[in-house]
Structure 1
């Protein structure tokens, strides 16, 4: 992997390699930005994995936004899903085509994009496959989120859009600042600003916390569904059964 914190995007570059004094060769290569140490080559990682640090089994919900991105020749992902119906559990398969964005193949695999096998079917879990790449999604039971939870979209370590869900409580605190002047015997406030702090508590994450860590390092972070820009200023991750907090 090549670290490029300035560009933070996937790009195709041409490298000129001098083989001898009389001849040069142009090599076209895809450069993928990444901030973390991978422990393997870019070719090996991209062949077996989507461009995300999400855990292999990601907890999501029926209204969530889920995207997958990869670098490779594949143009679609195969979706296998399990639905609960009046007749019991039913398996269903379908394919979703990808589009090109941010230098990668990107596909929307949000639960609402999936086609139920019959009317009234309830999605239980599903998996996306593309070549050797796999990503599984478990649908959270109703009322899992405390106080509404939060859905965060961010540009991850690979320069593509990713999402993470906080199923714990979400606290919103506003701290107004202003100046005061007395005009014609009456007091008026001016230069009024309000700094809003949003604290998201995650449910226990298990051993894989890299996706949450990526949020704190991201250049672009928004709160869905209104796409409100936010800036992470503090993160506390504990290796216990307690919740994980991000400010």
Structure 2
């Protein structure tokens, strides 16, 4: 079973400095039919104007993944990390018992476009931690690249939840597939471009929840970038 979440059905708020779209209920957007999928709790698509950003604020008991599509995002946190996240990078922050951080557009002239993803941790009260790796899936177009996993295999960032997160950059005509083991589920998010997912058409910013399927077949109908979550 595949349930499509169309881009234009998402929650939306424009704060001037931040134009944001919510796949699942978040902040002032509440829809009891869209509270998350399995351990996947948040997918926010954010556009942040130059030099603007999120001032210092706190999180706890959440696995937070940041995936930048265009521009650069500057990060600082209360456990001593400071970095700039750019396309090809994946940042994982485990909020655990509590962490304070800020995120700002690193550029004075260009907007930053990113996906912020929250996963429920497998247990609360973890020690806060941080990790950032560069994967550059654009260097291997047409292939699913593992970027986050509970066991951190293949150089993926380590998340404290039973999930494998893959990223892929596809050229028009590329095909790729992923096999789901029994009792596993998936979410596919189209970051940009257009694909077919088991024959269903998905466009930029569309998502799809997948259950009771064995094989996920993806074909790019135009150049595309996707995220695929393999979830318990």
The verdict on a shared fold, with TM-score over 0.5 as the criterion, is: no
Q: 1 or 2 for the larger relative contact order (CA 8 Å, sep ≥6)? A: 2
Which is greater in Rg?
1
Q: Aligning the two structures, in what range does the TM-score lie when normalised by the shorter sequence? A: under 0.3
Length-normalised TM-score, structure 2: 0.26
Length-normalised TM-score, structure 1: 0.25
